[in-house]
Chain A
Amino acid sequence: MRHQGGWIQRLLQTGSDHGGTLSMLVLAAGLLSLPALAFGADATPAAPTEYRDIPYVGSRNVIWVVAQLHLLLAGFVLGVPIFAWLCEVVAWKTGEKRYDKLAKEFTKLLTSAYATTALFGGILLFLLISFYPKLMNYLTDIFFPSFIVYCLLFLVETATLYLYWYGWDTMQDGGKKKFHILLGFLLNFFAFFIMIVPNSWATFQASPVVLAEGSDIARAWAATWNPTWWPVNIHRIIANVVLGGYICGAYAGIRYLSARNTEERDHYDWMGYVGNFIGVFGLLSLPFAGYWLMREVYQYNQQMGITLMGGFLSWLFILQAMLIGVLFLGSNYYFWMGITYRIPGSEMKYRKPMLAMLIALLLCLAVWMTPHSLVASMEEARKMGGSHHPLLGVFGVMSAKMTVANLMILVTFMSFIMYWRAGKQETAGWAKVAKAIMGGILALSAIAVIVLGVWGYFVPAIIRINYFSTTQVLVVIGVMVTITPLTALLLKSAKTTTEMVWGKMPPRAGYALVLNAVMVILLMTLMGYARSSSRVHWHVYGVLRDTSPYAYSPALGSAAAIMALCTFFFCMLVAFIFWVATMGDKAKAPSASTKGELPHGMPALAGASSALDEPKARKF
């Protein structure tokens, strides 16, 4: 086997070029994992060791938790720079300093979060080498060149992050600010590649391809360009934005709940809004990316697709529906509370549409959560004439689920538009026509989605998947790209009728933000389990069999316990990072709190004009 001998040494040698924190962290991770080596060291050195174990806990469980935490932290570390950079660009374009302040507040988290992510990455690497040497040797033999690329990317990413963070205050004006924004762009650019390189290792395990004989780079490139690589890349980049947004929202929610004065309540209420907005923004497009990924999985290997959607993992997708449903409900609920409490007078005006949207969401969720086969006793099954309920069974198929998923996206988009327009009076002469067109587009698209969904029952699956479902997705995307600019144009000349009031949200708004973040984290842990379990008893699907005692995939209940544990650990880690990063602020808080930097309203996007962003316009 090529590259087998001494690859670890070469890898460490490469890592030693970095210097500084990262190397120290990786070394520390190595030292931490040394006891694990001792636990399961093989007594017979004659045969190559394929697996090692750790007593009581099990090597698989340890790897599971550490890998999941690393992935979640990585998602956070890659999502937050996107979030921060967007806020910085908004601040630069609009001149609103509070966006810059928000961007800086989150970039400050990055330095400690980045180190923690690298630490968990190092621990994961050493544990994998210790517990799964056969698999690691196999992957190293294929991916060795991309390991080097990954190390180099880390080097430039670290340097860019340091420049971006430490140069924040000194690069505030003129050309320097532009350079700082360029640094932010580069930070995200390198971060994207840091994400997609390891994605290739993981996706190769799920969808391996032919590796022709050739140079190391040619083989690595062939393995990297596997069928699920890009779908996973796109899905993850969107998911990272969603994670970053909702975690920002949860942080704001907790700070809002513990706010000690009006300024803090104002600021964190506004921050919660921004976090929820960015989370929803990503969430609306996430199901499309997920659909593409599943489509590629089916095209690559129908067996794997069936294992996921119709085999032992089919119930997992009912849980996924529940989590996504709660996330949609939580996000909409927060929007509706915003309309009710931040825009006085709007609560009565929008009560009926909000009730209608709530009912629509609940009905959609009920359909989405209907399983294909019901859990029934023999007697019940006999009465039903099989495991499929005569009425509910109709909702258990993909055609129904695709339809309601698209409808939920449409409803959430309507919530967002409603929030945007609340408290404003359109003054343009063509406003009535524009509103009628928008209403027509929404109604027609909803009808089109339902008609295609019902029609989907009467056509072969391949027609439904290739044409009908794709058309449903395109219709919903079409609605978004049509109505969003039209609304922006309409509100450009609109008159603000109601002032935006911050800091008046009830405490349950803070808990709603926390709930949304927990749902996203749970979803990521759930789908991580799904992706890993879809390989069943293979390390590399169909190529390298898992012959360890852990070659089985645990049942959903046991897996959910570990997912919950990972979610809890991650929440605690993030809370710790936030606490450490803001410790210094608390010490100098009295002198830093100035009226001029506080949020006094929202930009036009949030439902009030920037003309009202003056201190005198605030009303409490």
Chain B
Amino acid sequence: MSEVVKLQLIGLSVIGSGVLILLFIRATFVRVIGFVAIVLGLFTLTALSVPQMASLPPVEEKFDIATVKTPTDMATIGQKIFFSKGQCALCHTIGPSESARCPDLKGIGAKLSREFIFESLTQPQAYIYLDYRHEGVAKEYPARMPYINKNPIGLSKNEILSVIAFLQQMSGEPISVTVAELAVPGEVPAAPAKAAQSGPVAVAQAH
């Protein structure tokens, strides 16, 4: 018996108890408790009737360079990251969709160079025009795209390169990212220094 079914049974029992109280008990306070039980039971049953989606923490992908032999291996890892830790699919789609909030990424690997994609991921504010409508210094329009190399998403350089490999493969393009570019953990900084300095919302450092 699944957890949802168990909770539904509990909810129904609570409602049933409430109905019995209202039918057979005369004491006002107990009747009010019965009424509250019915309301709470109905609320729980309603909540159980909508899609049950839990938010699981992203799996800490272990990027074992030893297992990556070809660019296709990178693309496979990139695809996993695209739909999990990277949270790309939360806003982007591959192919047209009514629910897409941000650009459709179908064919993006063919339209944009890998350098431009890398910059878009790590410096999303780079090519956004300034807002000159106000007096004084022109303001920056806030980018919708988050800084992928920073928290809360915080992809490493290897992970970003893998996502680029996936985008190129998905677009039918030859993968231009090579296995040799992958950084050995601990030796190379995760992201370009410039991107690391210009976060939209800098955060406190964990100790």
Contacts and interface: CB of A to CB of B under 8 A. Distances in A.
Of A258, A542, A554, the most chain B CB neighbours within 10 A belong to A542
Interface in B54-87: 54-58, 87
Of A138, A208, A211, A373, the most chain B CB neighbours within 10 A belong to A208
A544 interface: yes
Interface string B89-133: 011000001110100000000000000000000000000000000
A518 interface: yes
Given A257-B32, A312-B54, A557-B52, A386 B97 contact: yes
Contacts of B24: none
A30 to B, nearest CB: 26
Q: For chain B, which range describes its interface: under 10, 10 to 19, 20 to 34, or 35 or more residues?
A: 35 or more
Contact of B50 (A307, A310, A375): A375
B74 to A, nearest CB: 25
B40 interface: yes
Contact of A557 (B4, B36, B91): B4
B46 A319 contact: yes
A554 B39 CA distance: 22
Interface of B is mostly: loop
B204 to A, nearest CB: 4
A540 interface: yes
B106 to A, nearest CB: 16
Interface in A433-478: none
Interface in A499-552: 511, 514-515, 518, 522, 533, 536-538, 540-546, 551-552
B47 A560 contact: yes
A522 B43 contact: yes
Interface in A216-231: 223
Given A254-B32, A306-B101, A522-B43, A556 B203 contact: no
B98 A560 contact: no
Contacts of A138: 206-207
Contacts of B52: 555-558
A311 B91 CA distance: 9
Contacts of A62: none
A388 interface: yes
B197 interface: no
B152 A254 contact: no
B11 to A, nearest CB: 8
B3 interface: yes
Contact of A306 (B32, B91, B202): B91
Given A302-B144, A554-B54, A542 B47 contact: no
Contact of B203 (A515, A542, A564): A542
A141 interface: yes
B40 A568 contact: yes
B99 A300 contact: no
Interface string A312-324: 1101001100110
Interface string A357-379: 00000000000000011010000
A518 B48 CA distance: 19
A558 B3 contact: yes
Contacts of B40: 518, 522, 564, 567-568
Contacts of B153: 303
Contact of A559 (B32, B47, B56, B98): B47
Interface in A186-207: none
B24 to A, nearest CB: 17
Nearest to B49: A557
Interface in A570-600: 571, 575
Nearest to B99: A373
Contact of A1 (B39, B150, B207): B207
Contacts of A373: 99
Interface of B: 3-4, 7, 10-11, 28-29, 31-32, 35-37, 39-41, 43-44, 46-48, 50-58, 87, 90-91, 97-99, 101, 142, 144, 146, 150-154, 201-207
Q: Which 5 A-B pairs have the closest CB atoms?
A: A560-B47, A537-B57, A542-B151, A557-B48, A555-B52
23 contacts: A208-B203, A209-B203, A210-B202, A210-B203, A211-B204, A254-B32, A301-B146, A303-B152, A311-B90, A315-B50, A386-B97, A515-B35, A543-B203, A543-B205, A545-B206, A546-B57, A551-B57, A555-B54, A556-B53, A557-B48, A561-B7, A568-B37, A568-B40
